[in-house]
A and B are shown apart, each in its own frame.
Chain A
Amino acid sequence: MEDCNVHSAASILASVKEQEARFERLTRALEQERRHVALQLERAQQPGVGSGGVGSGQPLPMAWQQLVLQEQSPGSQASLATMPEAPEVLEETVTVEEDPGTPTSHVSIVTSEDGTTRRTETKVTKTVKTVTTRTVRQVPVGPDGLPLLDGGPPLGPFADGPLDRHFLLRGGGPAATLSRAYLSSGGSFTDGTEPRDVPSYGSLSRGLGVRPPRGPLGPGPVDGCFTLPGRREAFPAGPEPVPPAGRSQPERFQAEPYGLEDDTRSLAADDEGGPELEPDYGTATRRRPECGRGFRTRAYEDVADDSGELMEERPPFPAVTAPLAQPERGSLGSLDRVVRRSPSVDSARKEPRWRDPELPEVLAMLRHPVDPVKANAAAYLQHLCFENEGIKRRVRQLRGLPLLVALLDHPRAEVRRRACGALRNLSYGRDTDNKAAIRDCGGVPALVRLLRAARDNEVRELVTGTLWNLSSYEPLKMVIIDHGLQTLTHEVIVPHSGWEREPNEDSKPRDAEWTTVFKNTSGCLRNVSSDGAEARRRLRECEGLVDALLHALQSAVGRKDTDNKSVENCVCIMRNLSYHVHKEVPGADRYQEAEPGPPGGTAGSQCRKRDDAGCFGGKKAKEEWFHQGKKDGEMDRNFDTLDLPKRTEAAKGFELLYQPEVVRLYLSLLTESRNFNTLEAAAGALQNLSAGNWMWATYIRATVRKERGLPVLVELLQSETDKVVRAVAIALRNLSLDRRNKDLIGSYAMAELVRNVRNAQAPARPGARLEEDTVVAVLNTIHEIVSDSLDNARSLLQARGIPALVALGATSQSVREAKAASHVLQTVWSYKELRGALQKDGWTKARFQSATATAKGPKGAPSPGGFDDSTLPLVDRSLDGEKPGSRDVIPMEALGPDGYSTVDRRERRARGSDPAGEASEKEPLKPDPGRKAPPGPSRPAVRLVDAMGDAKPQPVDSWV
């Protein structure tokens, strides 16, 4: 008892301090927010001003920043994850409970088991569980009965261990505390005194199990929530969650606590080799029912991100009900038992029942003086919040987030860990209010502090997972950069990437380690890297970050391990950082091409100027076309011999982003990876890099060709994934700024491009239709390559592009598509040389014009003059906003300057989870008949996706 008083005194003190600290933090956060807002405003106003007006504000056609944002998909799942891993071990050590924070290693398991088995942790867990269970039964008897039972069900994993233990070990002490807390609330429960005389709290009520599976979490959390008013008296300090004086529900206290659990136990009971249940399943189960019932909403982020994951990892558990997660039961139990003793007055029934602690109580327990109680409360909270938006909201409303954030700095590792686990779940989801609330109470700096301090891998996973979750919320991105960028880079990215600042001669270059921590961290940086110019600048200039990412990617390519999430995240960061490099990088102006106006991605050199001349001349007359061809020829030679700049010292930091060497890396990824997001991002990176009108972009464009990247890209036009097609199409468009590339692309990509158009017009199968953005991107690419190139326009005819374009223009529901199609047609018609052929095919001018006229309005006349814009280098087209090609292709840009496209994309993806987006990814295995159907010209028989299936031989079986 004494102990207890001391504790509570200390806790009051602590909570006062915490309040102060919180206030301070709030102030700081406020300040920060203000700054951030100011920045945003500033940025928002910039557009017009931006560098040379090129695209700082206006949508830039070329350099579309394709940010693949992926919302925190992994986080959520992960959140659960936390529970199982360490906890198990923990449990194992349970007996030792006193130090729950002890880092646990799987190995320990082995030791714990008697030599015979290295039976895996599961077993251990089981043991642990057993303990718990046992405890439960015995408690009534006395606190001493803690024998470990074997063969218990591996339920109720972690939480109970410590708590029970604690109580048991300590004798009445803690129990008393608890009970006091509980009872004092008085409200619905009779008199507070009653419970006290019941020191036998020992009985762990497993009561939870008894309730209907979805009990408190599911349908009616509210209902249950208020049953027990929080005990204010017990924890006077601090803002107590308001306990709405609900009705007490004594009926819920069940006499026989074991119900469900017993079942499970018996199920799992056969310890030897029989089915062993992982402790975690409670949590997981919860998700099952949802799947089963077709509710996928909660998991939307995942779904959105990579649809496969869901299925893969959540095997169809049809109509499984969701028992409460076992893990936390223990802790509850302790509460329950207390409660149980108190006959509830109001209860109509005499028989006391077990019940869950209500949310306010759980939150109040976060302030409990006894550390393990805090830890368990946090763990239980984590469980409660799992995929339960309602609970998450309530936790916020009850001001639970500041409590949890405060616990991140708690002296005990276990408490920190649990608190972080809860925060991770709470921070997951589309609802951004929790994220904001975490920020508002200084959550980000606290998490970062914890990351710096934590050596325990699980904690690091939790912290980075939480940060990943938080990073999906726009207003938090800069906060994370401000507080966490250095730490994330130096604590995680650099060490895990294998990159070494000063490579030791002796040591072999290290490979990247695709750890969860790395995955989470890269995901977080991926999200924040989309926050606009300032964010990009910060990331680029963060020492070692780009170097490390590049190293990681190179090692992925080297090991042909390019499909995983970490790689995807890294590429996405690289791509985002590559956006607008030509304008944003320090000293970029030194490399700008000589032509200030609309340089066609020209170098300042002579040959480049001639190139320009060629471009402009192109539209004028036949003769000029002829000459131009010649010029092009010369130019090509020049291009082919284009000397890459010699560097006196190795590039480092952000310079690495745009060195021609990266081309090979991206091409390797495009060749190797089977991850669509990675493919898209790699193509997007090339697109971004080839967009600028600076010297490096020129090199990049030439390098792509020299590295034989064009065929790789063309092949990807056949990808079944919409966004890959889109990114590739746009990249090709940028690449065709290089004259030689343009010719090659015209010759080799036209068939594929046209096929996509045809597919857009007449989708091979339902759901196969490309998205509008993609269609427009393809059309604009076609437009680009036929502009200024008679040969390419011929290719278009030969590829039977005209019927496809006309049909699309006539039938498309999309104004943008129709417009883009007619734009192409117009351009084609403008080649007088082709009119004969066109007319021979039965086309009339009207076909080309009518569409045009309607679409283009003022520019209806297909005079060459009308197309000047199309000869302009794409990069600069954005200057005149009305140019059709420019903004059409990059619709997301319209959302705002720089990074906002992300938002759009991400949300779309999230939304698309159930509908089309997913559907299209779900069936990828089926060969797409449509692809072959159109009687198009022969095209290379590259079939990226199907190839694998077809080509693969008999199943291989390898001994290991």
Chain B
Amino acid sequence: MLLQGHQLRDGCVQPGQQRVEIHKLRQGENLILGFSIGGGIDQDPSQNPFSEDKTDKGIYVTRVSEGGPAEIAGLQIGDKIMQVNGWDMTMVTHDQARKRLTKRSEEVVRLLVTRQSLQKAVQQSMLS
């Protein structure tokens, strides 16, 4: 198994990364974020359609519900979630990620995500 980065550099926002802050929406009993995740270290990374590196076991945003909190906050399909409220998400199981995102005590989640498009943009800007 690949030992992946356990932790992002503290607070370091790397190029191609950005923060997204989502305020959960109360739906009946539940607080929802309005997106779905795939991936995790216990999942088969090769089936992840969003990753460039097919061994990447990170957590990816697979769907974003229209008009939901996540969309409002700017989260996009294919974003790779690096951190949730400062917790590393690059080395977690699917379920751990889910739990981390759905803590009832937290009404706001702050994500650090990488986005392919962002990276490309950065790249290009560097090259130009």
**B125–A263 CB distance below 8 A:** yes
Given contacts A277-B118, A317-B123, contact A121 B19 (CB under 8 A): yes
Interface check A285, CB cutoff 8 A: yes
> Are A320 and B127 also in contact (CB < 8 A) when A119-B73, A122-B19, A960-B37 are?
yes
Shortest B26–chain A CB gap in Å is 14
Judging by beta carbons under 8 Å apart, are A110 and B21 in contact? yes
Out of B2, B16, B32, B91, which one reaches A564, CB within 8 Å?
B91
- Chain B residue at minimum C-beta to C-beta distance from A315: B119
Q: Mark B69-89, 1 if CB is under 8 A from A, else 0.
A: 000111000000010001110
CA distance A519 to B87 in the complex (A): 11
Q: Are B73 and A120 closer than 8 Å at their CB atoms?
A: yes
Q: Please state if A106 and B21 are interface contacts (CB–CB under 8 Å).
A: yes
User: Which parts of B85-128 form the interface with A (CB within 8 Å)?
Assistant: 86-88, 90-94, 96, 98, 101-102, 110, 114-115, 117-128
Q: Which residue of the partner chain, among B13, B102, B110, B126, contacts A84 with CB atoms under 8 Å?
A: B13
Is B115 touching A465 in the complex (CB atoms < 8 A)? no
Verify A959–B32 contact, CB threshold 8 A.
yes
Docked-complex contact A120 and B74, CB < 8 angstroms? yes
Beyond A119-B73, A564-B88, whether A280 also contacts B63 by CB under 8 A is no
Is A273 part of the binding interface, using a Cβ–Cβ cutoff of 8 Å?
A: yes
Identify the interface centre among A564, A720, A922: most chain B CB within 10 Å of its CB.
Answer: A564
A595 at the interface (CB under 8 A from B): no
- Taking CB atoms and an 8 Å cut-off, the chain A residues in 105-139 that contact chain B are 106, 109-110, 117-122
Given known A-B contacts A959-B32, A960-B101, A80 and B9 have beta carbons under 8 A apart:
yes
Residues of B within 8 A of A949 (CB): 44
The answer to whether B122 touches A277 (Cβ under 8 A) is yes
**What does the 1/0 interface line of A555-577 toward B look like (CB < 8 Å)?**
00000110111101000000000
The CA of A856 and the CA of B114, in the complex, are separated in Å by 59
Query: Is the CB–CB distance between A277 and B125 below 8 Å?
Result: yes
What's the Cα separation between A515 and B39 when bound, in Å? 23
A432 interfacial contact with B, CB 8 Å: no
**Contact: A278 with B88, CB < 8 Å?**
no
Cβ of B119 and Cβ of A312 under 8 Å apart?
Answer: no
Is there contact, CB below 8 Å, between A318 and B123? yes
Pairwise interchain contact A675-B3, C-beta atoms closer than 8 A? yes
Judging by beta carbons under 8 Å apart, are B21 and A285 in contact? no
8 Å CB contact of A925 from B47, B55, B58, B127 = B55
Residues of B within 8 A of A564 (CB): 6-7, 88, 91
A120 near B19 with CB under 8 A, answer yes
> In chain A, residues 74-91, which have Cβ atoms closer than 8 Å to a Cβ of chain B?
74, 76-86
B residues contacting the other copy or chain, number (CB 8 A): 75
A280–B5 Cα gap in the complex (Å)?
Answer: 19
Which A652-679 residues have C-beta < 8 A from chain B? 674-677
Interface contact B14-A280, CB-CB below 8 Å: yes
When distances are taken between beta carbons in the complex, the residues of chain A under 8 Å from B114 are: 315
Residue A516 interfacial (CB < 8 Å): yes
Beta-carbon contacts of A282-318 to B below 8 Å, as 1s and 0s?
A: 0011001000000000000000001111111111011
Cα(A710)–Cα(B96), bound, Å? 28
Nearest chain A CB to B119 CB, angstrom units? 6
Q: Are A515 and B88 in contact (CB under 8 A)?
A: no
Cβ–Cβ contact B18 & A956, under 8 A:
no
| Interface residue A955 (Cβ < 8 Å from any Cβ of B) | yes
Chain A residues with CB under 8 Å of B98's CB are: 958, 960
Are A520 and B48 neighbours in the complex by a CB distance under 8 Å?
no
**Are B15 and A568 within 8 A (Cβ)?**
no
**With known contacts A275-B115, A674-B41, A122–B18 Cβ distance under 8 A:** yes
Interface residues of B in 1-60 (CB under 8 A from A): 1-21, 23, 32-33, 35-44, 47-48, 52-53, 55-56, 58
Are B3 and A308 interface neighbours, CB within 8 A?
yes
A321 at the interface (CB under 8 A from B): yes
Contacts of A78 in B (CB 8 A): 9-12
Q: Are A280 and B36 in contact (CB under 8 A)?
A: no
Residue from the list B9, B38, B43, B65 in contact with A952, Cβ < 8 A: B43
Q: Select the residue from A268, A280, A568 with max chain B CB neighbours within 10 A.
A: A280
Q: Are A514 and B90 CB-contacts (below 8 A) given A308-B3, A465-B10?
A: no
Which residues on A sit within 8 Å (CB–CB) of B44?
949, 952-955
Nearest neighbor of A283 in chain B, beta-carbon distance: B12
The reply to whether B96 and A561 form a contact with Cβ atoms under 8 Å apart is: yes
A313 with B8, Cβ < 8 A, contacts A267-B121, A273-B74 known: yes
Q: Is the CB of B118 within 8 A of A276?
A: yes
Contacts of A288 in B (CB 8 A): 15, 126
A925 touching B1, Cβ below 8 Å: yes
Q: Let me know if A321 and B11 touch, CB within 8 A.
A: no
Q: Which of A273, A465, A675, A960 meets B6, CB within 8 Å?
A: A675
Partner of A313, one of B5, B32, B62, B128: B5
Chain A residue at minimal CB-CB distance from B94:
A956
Please state if A565 and B6 are interface contacts (CB–CB under 8 Å).
yes
Does B35 lie within 8 Å of A960, measured CB to CB?
yes
A945 within 8 A of B: yes
Q: Are B118 and A307 in contact (CB under 8 A)?
A: no
In contact, B126 and A323 (Cβ under 8 angstroms): yes
A752 at the interface (CB under 8 A from B): no
Q: Are B6 and A278 in contact (CB under 8 A)?
A: no
Asked whether any CB of chain B lies closer than 8 Å to the CB of A226, the reply is no
CA distance A106 to B128 in the complex (A): 32
B-contact 0/1 string along A466-498, CB 8 Å cutoff? 000000000000000000000000000000000
Task: For B58, list chain A residues within 8 Å (CB).
Answer: 312
| Minimum Cβ distance to chain A for residue B20 (Å) | 5
Residues of B within 8 A of A81 (CB): 8-13
By CB atoms of chain B within 10 A, which of A275, A276, A306 has the most? A275
Residues of chain B within 8 A of A922, CB atoms compared: 2
| Per-residue B-contact encoding for A365-406, CB less than 8 Å = 1, 0 else | 000000000000000000000000000000000000000000
- Least Cβ–Cβ distance between A278 and chain B, in angstroms: 4
Are A84 and B11 in touch, CB under 8 angstroms? yes
- Bound Cα distance from A210 to B40, whole angstroms: 42
A623 adjacent to chain B (CB < 8 Å): no
How far is B86's CA from A461's CA once the two chains are assembled, in angstroms? 12
Q: Which residues of A contact B94 (CB under 8 A)?
A: 956, 958
Q: A955-B44, A956-B38 are in contact. Are A278 and B14 (CB under 8 A)?
A: yes
Residues of A with C-beta under 8 A to B92: 561, 563
Q: Is A258 an interface residue (CB 8 A)?
A: no
A77 contacts B12, C-beta separation under 8 Å? yes
A561–B84 alpha-carbon span in the complex (Å): 14
User: A285 near B15 (CB under 8 angstroms)?
Assistant: yes
Question: How far apart sit A319 and B13, CA to CA, in the bound complex (Å)?
Answer: 20
Bound-complex Cα distance A723 to B74 (A): 43
Whether the pair B4, A520 counts as a contact (CB closer than 8 A) is no
Tell me whether A321 and B126 are in contact (CB under 8 A): yes
Given the known A-B contacts A120-B18, A321-B127, A516-B11, are A959 and B36 also in contact in the complex, defined by CB atoms under 8 Å? yes
> Is A948's beta carbon under 8 Å from chain B?
yes
**In the bound complex, do residue B42 and residue A952 qualify as a contact, i.e. CB atoms below 8 Å apart?**
yes
Cα distance A288–B11 when bound, in Å? Answer: 18
Task: Tell me if A957 counts as interface (CB < 8 A to partner B).
Answer: yes
**CA–CA, A925 and B33, complex, Å:** 33
A309 to chain B, nearest CB (A): 3
Produce 1/0 per residue, A751-763, CB < 8 A to B.
Answer: 0000000000000
Across-interface contacts of B55 in A (CB, < 8 A): 925
Supposing A564-B91, A957-B37 touch, asked if A315 and B16 sit within 8 A by C-beta, the answer is yes
A-B pairs with beta carbons under 8 Å apart, 10 shown: A81-B10, A267-B121, A275-B117, A275-B120, A279-B13, A285-B126, A306-B4, A319-B127, A516-B7, A960-B37
Q: Assuming A78-B11, A121-B19, A922-B2, what are 11 further A-B pairs, CB within 8 angstroms?
A: A76-B9, A277-B118, A278-B16, A308-B4, A311-B4, A313-B14, A564-B6, A674-B3, A677-B3, A948-B42, A954-B47
Binding site for A on B (CB under 8 A): 1-21, 23, 32-33, 35-44, 47-48, 52-53, 55-56, 58, 62-63, 65, 72-74, 82, 86-88, 90-94, 96, 98, 101-102, 110, 114-115, 117-128
- For the complex of A and B, list the 7 residue pairs with the smallest distance between their C-beta atoms, beginning with the closest: A81-B12, A281-B15, A77-B9, A309-B5, A320-B126, A275-B121, A516-B10
